[in-house]
């Protein structure tokens, strides 16, 4: 279960080792942000802190229970406190491939859920894992990095109820409470219909024997009662919606890879330009070396002539 807010009334230290929410020395407390936002009077914040120390609740939990702030308001303040983006429920996009980076049990225990991949500005061009959380903390960031096996992650703050719905959804592999509450279809009426059809068929006269090949090539249409006897089959609309969502997420991944390839191509072009410049500089250096060698030979010839002149002058 994800808890709200923070317990301290002072200042909390910055997150280390994360792209967003990085080190800023110190960050304002939730009580200060509540006062600056004008959501809760100072006296009520102090009373909530005292009550939280008595009940063991955090400041945000007390204020939510009292109705002083909403979950969305608290999530926005926590995002501001940790310098992280806040995302509404209707703006979230979930990538099934990102969900596989963290098992459902670990996601619930950590209060975090990988939701998609973001484009990275790192030199290797690998996409960065985006994780939705409801309560940022240094300990949670460290535990998440250890669980997903990388520190190259970024975070978005969502409301507590939004994260809970994500953790309960089918994409995480756990059953939704609403789906679990629905009764299972009863197969008894179907069996009764089948028995009635069997009795009717027994009393009907046999006109002709249908070959097996014809029966296989012309199967009877499935009745509604027969389709109802398979409660595990999803409606076609749900299957199409899931397939469309998977296509959209796959397209997002393809777009990210294409963008990475384009950046790599630009870097290669830059390296090729630098290589051409280096080749031109090397050619200039070679020509300078040839000119220097030619002048050295010329100087050697001049020195020989000067020596001959000196000998001729000395013989006179």
Per-residue pLDDT reduced to its tens digit, 145-178: 999 988 889 999 999 999 999 888 745 454 443 4
Mean pLDDT of 43-72: 91
CA distance 119 to 1: 30
Pick the closest to residue 3 from 167, 177, 137 (CA basis): 137
> What is the per-residue pLDDT across 127-146, written as a single tens digit (0 to 9) for each?
889 999 999 999 999 999 99
Query: Tell me, what's the pLDDT at 35?
Result: 87
Query: Taken in order 128, 124, 271, 274, is the CA torsion positive or negative?
Result: positive
CA distance 78 to 158: 9
Least confident of 21-25, 123-127, 241-245: 21-25
Element (H, E) at 99: helix 96-99
Q: Note whether 157 and 83 are within 8 A (CB).
A: no
Count other C-beta atoms under 10 Å from residue 150's C-beta. 13
Report, at the CATH architecture level, how domain 12-175 is classified: 2-Layer Sandwich (3.30)
Q: Note whether 136 and 167 are within 8 A (CB).
A: no
DSSP secondary-structure letter at 70? -
Query: Tell me, what's the pLDDT at 173?
Result: 53
Pick the closest to residue 110 from 140, 154, 73 (CA basis): 140
> Is 50 exceeded by the pLDDT of residue 8?
no
Q: Is 100 left (phi over 0), alpha (psi -120 to 50) or beta?
A: alpha
């Amino acid at each position: 279960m994800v808890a709200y807010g923070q317990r301290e009334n002072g200042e909390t230290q910055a997150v280390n080792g994360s792209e967003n929410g990085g080190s800023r020395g110190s960050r304002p407390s939730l009580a200060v942000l509540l006062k600056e936002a004008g959501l809760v009077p100072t006296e009520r914040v102090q009373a909530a802190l005292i009550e939280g120390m008595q009940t063991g609740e955090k400041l945000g939990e007390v204020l939510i229970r009292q109705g002083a702030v909403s979950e969305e308001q608290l999530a926005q303040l926590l995002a501001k406190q940790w310098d992280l983006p806040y995302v509404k429920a209707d703006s979230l996009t979930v990538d099934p491939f990102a969900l596989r980076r963290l098992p459902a049990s670990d996601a619930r225990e950590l209060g975090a859920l990988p939701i998609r991949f973001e484009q990275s500005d790192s030199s290797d061009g690998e996409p960065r894992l985006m994780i939705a959380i409801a309560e940022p903390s240094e300990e949670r960031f460290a535990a998440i990095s250890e669980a997903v096996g990388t520190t190259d992650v970024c975070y978005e703050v969502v409301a507590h109820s939004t994260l809970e719905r994500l953790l309960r959804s089918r994409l995480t592999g756990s059953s939704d409470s609403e789906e679990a509450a629905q009764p299972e279809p009863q197969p008894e009426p179907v069996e009764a219909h089948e028995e009635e059809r069997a009795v009717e068929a027994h009393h009907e006269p046999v006109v002709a024997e249908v070959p097996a090949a014809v029966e296989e090539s012309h199967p009877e249409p499935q009745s509604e009662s027969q389709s109802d006897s398979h409660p595990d089959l999803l409606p076609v609309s749900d299957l199409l919606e899931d397939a469309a969502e998977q296509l959209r997420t796959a397209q997002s991944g393809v777009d990210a890879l294409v963008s990475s390839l384009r950046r790599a191509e630009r870097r290669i072009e830059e390296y090729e330009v630098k290589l051409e410049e280096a080749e031109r500089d090397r050619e200039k250096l070679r020509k300078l070396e040839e000119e220097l060698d030619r002048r050295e030979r010329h100087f050697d010839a001049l020195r020989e002539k000067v020596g001959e002149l000196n000998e001729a002058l000395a013989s006179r």
